[in-house]
Structure 1
Amino acid sequence: MTLGDHVLALDIGGTKLAAGVVGRTGDVRSFVRTPTKVEEGPETTVKRLLDLGRDALAEAGRTAGEVAAVGIGCGGPLDPVTGRVQGPPGLPGWDDVPIVDLVEAAYGRLAFLENDATAAVLGEYHYGRWGGVRHMLYLTVSTGVGGGAILDGRLYRGAAGNGGEFGHVIIDWNGRLCGCGQRGCIEAYASGTSIARRADEALAGGEASSLREAPVVTAETVSVHAGRGDPLARRLWDETTAALGRALAVMINVVEPQLVVLGGGVTRAGDALLLPVRRAALSQAMRPAGAAGRVELSVHGDTVGVVGAAASAFLHLDDSTGAST
């Protein structure tokens, strides 16, 4: 393991924090995670993130001085140039947090900040082994819904560095209130947070369901009970996959990607999510666009966030030296 071959990657999510040491081929040498506990606020959470990074280094048998840089993935909005997190809906209180400065001070290494889903599409593109794809979209379906795009083999960041906010594609302009302040975003229907919230609302309204037996209702709970045939859980799950499929059809029409990759915690449901979403997306897209594309699950599972953050760090390092990715 040489210095330029590995980076420390940090993944900041609304539900979990994750860290790992990752190599240039996408090989994950260590991986650790812990609940985010957003209620504790950014100062305490950042301290726990930094400690988690040290745990990842120790698990890989390395010190901070033995990695080339630190990649940081976090839900947007954020400013990758100044390295500041700017109030993501899933991280209350994270207003103008100078995360890059804090990470660089802690580890003594250069650090790079990227929207987590933007980083993830880069990780999927380089390390997903999808075979010659030039146009790719990635959606993370987790606490929130985020996205990233590779267009003609190049990462798309947009004018302000947050391009690809697919979670805020509006599918019902008069619909549910989203954490971003708008109504009808796909995040308000397909995120793990929304799935659980809609279930809680239905239970509070008196609907009968086996979900009442669960100590805490989560997206995974809804998925499991839907698979067992519970009518309420089945309806909620069908609404979720229909909404996500419809949003993907819109994105496919706009971009005409060869591949859409889904990742994030909600995708642990596997084919129960993938198959209906794929069917809805490709059947509702315009015929040429739908025929040209496919919809798949990430090959990286729970490590997709750290793999993406690492891919972003390597891209920044190579850009600074003029090397090719």
Structure 2
Amino acid sequence: MGFIGIDLGGTQLRVAVADDRGRLCTVVREPTQAARGRDHVIDRIVAAVKEALRKEQTSPRRIRALGIGLPGPVDPAAGLVISPANLPGFRNVPLNRILTRATGIPSYLHHDAHLAALGEHRRGAARGASDMIYVTVSTGIGAGLLLRGELYAGAHGIAGEVGHIVVQRDGPLCTCGNRGCLEAIASGTGIARAARELAPGAPGSALYRLDHPHAEDVARGARAGDELANAILENAGSYLGLAMGTLVNLFNPQLIVLGGSVIKTGNLLLGPMRRSMIASSWKASRRGLRIVRPALGDDAGLIGAVEFARLRARHAPQA
């Protein structure tokens, strides 16, 4: 008997078949093609599950449960995808029920950042930590929490939306409609926005010569000593640290795992982040705190989806 884990993003869909111990055996990768709409994406998920089973030479009858992580907001208890920004058409979609019917496998969804936290807790950098937070800083910013060894999703599965902590009153407009959210400032999207707004006034910067600078361009410029690029990362890191300090004060974690493409920028971002976090958190709250990089890399969410399937199978009512 085995399990299936799915990591569904706006760009890529990954499906894994795992053995009874949760070890990945076969992985299928496909473009999500999210712009083609909800029904097309669901068809691609089902087709990828069937392809993974075919490659593993097994059948749905041999799979105990399927776990799927995807961007929030989602309601895990109700099995609903509520309205993720990068999956057009997914509004109040009963994905658990749809996938269970289409595959014949009991299916369970959760927020992707929460499942990445679960993956790192069970198989990666957070093993042995009873209270930990996984923060991902990429196109957006999200977090997953494990408290006393258990996933914490909140009343409606939306806990961990650290990207929507307001850190700058009257700051830049966020996709959620508020102003000054952390995600609007410190995410890859926010860093790119700052570069586009500030570069026209800085003819001495390498960013000035780019029509549409991205976060990667800012990181590259900062490494080369570009003053504007360094200032943008300093600002982003400082606000990220402010939010991290809030998390530390609220949850008193043993461990924070920092993942996502923007974190790969390194100390140009993380240095200001650490200084700001220390300045904005209580010393007693961060006593013994460790901040580490993910051990599972980009597979954290996929492995977490498998672990979630295993968890749900253990608690499923016996026939």
TM over 0.5: yes
Q: Which one has a bigger Cα radius of gyration?
A: 2
> Could you tell me which of 293, 296, 299 is aligned with 1:300?
296
| TM value normalised by structure 2 | 0.87
SS in 2 for 1:81: coil
Aligned to 2:190: 194
Measure the CA separation in 2 of the matches of 1:25 and 1:272: 39
Q: Classify 1:102/1:268 alpha carbon distance in 2 versus 1 (closer, same or farther; 3 Å).
A: farther
| TM value normalised by structure 1 | 0.86
SS in 2 for 1:7: strand
1:256 deviates by: 0.7
Deviations 1:223-275 (A, max 9, x none): 22321222332222222221111110111011111111122232333555445
Aligned to 1:136: 132
Give yes or no for contact 2:113–2:142 (8 Å, CA) kept in 1: yes
Give yes or no for contact 1:170–1:184 (8 Å, CA) kept in 2: yes
Measure the CA separation in 1 of the matches of 2:214 and 2:47: 28
Aligned to 1:278: 274
SS in 2 for 1:167: helix
Query: Which blocks of at least 5 consecutive residues in structure 1 are unaligned?
Result: none
Q: Which amino acid aligns with 1:112?
A: Y
Measure the CA separation in 2 of the matches of 1:272 and 1:31: 34
Measure the CA separation in 2 of the matches of 1:220 and 1:22: 34
Q: Which amino acid aligns with 1:49?
A: I
1:47-126 matched pairs, under 5 angstroms = 47-126=43-122
Deviations 1:83-132 (A, max 9, x none): 22111233343212232233223322111011111222222211125353
SS in 1 for 2:160: coil
Measure the CA separation in 2 of the matches of 1:226 and 1:93: 38
| Alignment root-mean-square deviation, CA | 2.7
> Could you tell me which of 141, 147, 152 is aligned with 1:151?
147
SS in 2 for 1:289: coil
> Could you tell me which of 156, 162, 167 is aligned with 2:158?
162
Moved more, 62-71 or 271-280: 271-280
Aligned residues: 318
1:179-218 matched pairs, under 5 angstroms = 179-203=175-199, 209-211=205-207, 217-218=213-214
Give yes or no for contact 1:274–1:297 (8 Å, CA) kept in 2: no
Aligned to 1:28: 24
Give yes or no for contact 1:15–1:143 (8 Å, CA) kept in 2: no
SS in 2 for 1:162: coil
Q: Give the % identical residues.
A: 37
Give yes or no for contact 2:120–2:127 (8 Å, CA) kept in 1: no
> Could you tell me which of 216, 238, 242 is aligned with 2:238?
242
Matched, 1:227 2:218: no
Measure the CA separation in 1 of the matches of 2:45 and 2:239: 33
Moved more, 236-245 or 272-281: 272-281
Aligned to 1:318: 314
Matched, 1:14 2:2: no
Q: Classify 1:106/1:192 alpha carbon distance in 2 versus 1 (closer, same or farther; 3 Å).
A: farther
Measure the CA separation in 2 of the matches of 1:172 and 1:264: 22
Give yes or no for contact 1:71–1:312 (8 Å, CA) kept in 2: yes
Q: Classify 1:77/1:131 alpha carbon distance in 2 versus 1 (closer, same or farther; 3 Å).
A: closer
Query: Which blocks of at least 5 consecutive residues in structure 2 are unaligned?
Result: none
